[in-house]
Amino acid sequence: MILTDLQPTADDIAGDVLAGLSMTPKRLPSKYFYDARGSQLFEQITRQPEYYLTRVELALLDASMPAIATAVAAHAHVVEYGSGSGRKTHRLLEGLDDPVAYTPIEISKTALLASVGRLADAFPGVEMLPVCADFTHPVPLPQPSRGTGHTLVFFPGSTLGNFLAEDAKRLLRSMRVTMGPRGRALVGIDLDKDPVLIEAAYNDAAGVTAEFTLNLLVRLNRDIGSDFDVSAFVHRATYSRERMRIETHLVSQRAQDVHLAGRSFHFDAGEAMQVEYSHKYTDHSFATLIADAGLRVVERWNDPQDWFGLRLLAP
């Protein structure tokens, strides 16, 4: 198995972090949550009772799989953005009609190698073409050696929700190019619902989400040599009904100066740094988003409570 290794370097990360700390209010990119530990903590989040997203999406994927397999051409090349543990991929590869190749694009090399190893054992007939990369930048896709039908872009988990509308559109446009004129994309979206349920999902009682958020600072201190006082920050996640998104911040409990690459960044006591958005969707808001990217919904599946949706998109 050949790994295409385009993992972000310490310089890439430091550049993004310097830019984010220079903004008002300060912000950090959520993609850097996913080092080896972050990916592990995210898996732990998916097993928390409050985090309904993964549980509901897995059940929905199982229930919709026969219809998905019918709607997607045989011999597909599956390209997944942010593949994580590959639990959903397992279901997809199992259900599709003779998928030929699988290209996961994942920023955490540890998570990528572990998941692709498991999938290679389970699906010996599917060519594994792992790419370690930040999928928000253009990624040269490996070519399957067996002739394939169409490309199926798989983008589950409502990861799309981590992007602001303009960035989400840019990403969807690049997916449209990746899938080609006859391809499809299967996208998972978390739907707007009672804010109490949504806020609980991002504030689990066991504190796993808080640890996941704080791990961002731990990994930056280790990988780019910053000196955030991790113990002085707390996780805060609130739902904005107006913007239909969870807004996650790390709030400095005291005044502190953080140093990075010869520069110094001052935090006031109580200052909040924005670290993640998780947008929720209605059929209307999602339709607007994808239309601007030149895509349309060809099939839609929701769970019985309309908490989470899968959408099959075509150019």
Residue 27: alpha-carbon gap to chain centroid: 18
Q: Which residue is nearest to ligand AVJ, using beta carbons?
A: 278
Q: Judged by CB under 6 A, how many residues of this single chain contact ligand AVJ? A: 11
Nearer to ligand AVJ, 142 or 188 (CB): 188
Say which residue the tokens 């051409």 belong to: 73
Among 14, 53, 172, 260, binds ligand AVJ (CB under 6 A): 53
Nearer to ligand AVJ, 202 or 233 (CB): 202
CB of 168 to ligand AVJ, least distance (A): 12
CB of 46 to ligand AVJ, least distance (A): 8
Residue 159 interacts with ligand AVJ (CB under 6 A): yes or no: yes
274/137 Cα distance (integer angstroms): 22
Query: What torsion do the CA atoms of 171, 58, 69, 101 make, to the nearest 10 degrees?
Result: 60
CB of 140 to ligand AVJ, least distance (A): 24
Distances in Å between the Cα of 174 and the Cα atoms of 102, 131, 217, 274 are 18, 16, 30, 26
Site for ligand AVJ in 55-114 (CB under 6 A): none
Segment lying near ligand AVJ (by CB under 6 A), choices 98-106, 132-140, 143-151, 157-165: 157-165
Q: What is the contact mask toward ligand AVJ in residues 236 to 255, using x (rule: CB under 6 A)?
A: --------------------
Q: Which long-range contacts (CB under 8 A, 24 or more apart) does 121-125 make?
A: 122/90, 122/93, 123/93, 123/94, 123/99, 125/98
Distances in Å between the Cα of 47 and the Cα atoms of 2, 52, 250 are 31, 9, 23
Nearer to ligand AVJ, 148 or 159 (CB): 159
Residue 45 interacts with ligand AVJ (CB under 6 A): yes or no: yes
Closest CA to 176 of 71, 260, 291: 291
The β-bridge relationship of strands 184-190 and 263-267 is unpaired
Residue 158 interacts with ligand AVJ (CB under 6 A): yes or no: yes
Residue 188 interacts with ligand AVJ (CB under 6 A): yes or no: no
CB of 160 to ligand AVJ, least distance (A): 8
CB of 239 to ligand AVJ, least distance (A): 12
Site for ligand AVJ in 266-305 (CB under 6 A): 276, 278
Segment lying near ligand AVJ (by CB under 6 A), choices 91-99, 100-108, 159-167, 253-261: 159-167
Nearer to ligand AVJ, 45 or 119 (CB): 45
CB of 278 to ligand AVJ, least distance (A): 3
Q: What is the contact mask toward ligand AVJ in residues 191 to 210, using x (rule: CB under 6 A)?
A: -----------x------x-
Segment lying near ligand AVJ (by CB under 6 A), choices 155-163, 174-182, 191-199, 307-315: 155-163
- Which residues of the chain form contacts with ligand AVJ (CB under 6 A)? 45, 53, 157-159, 161-162, 202, 209, 276, 278
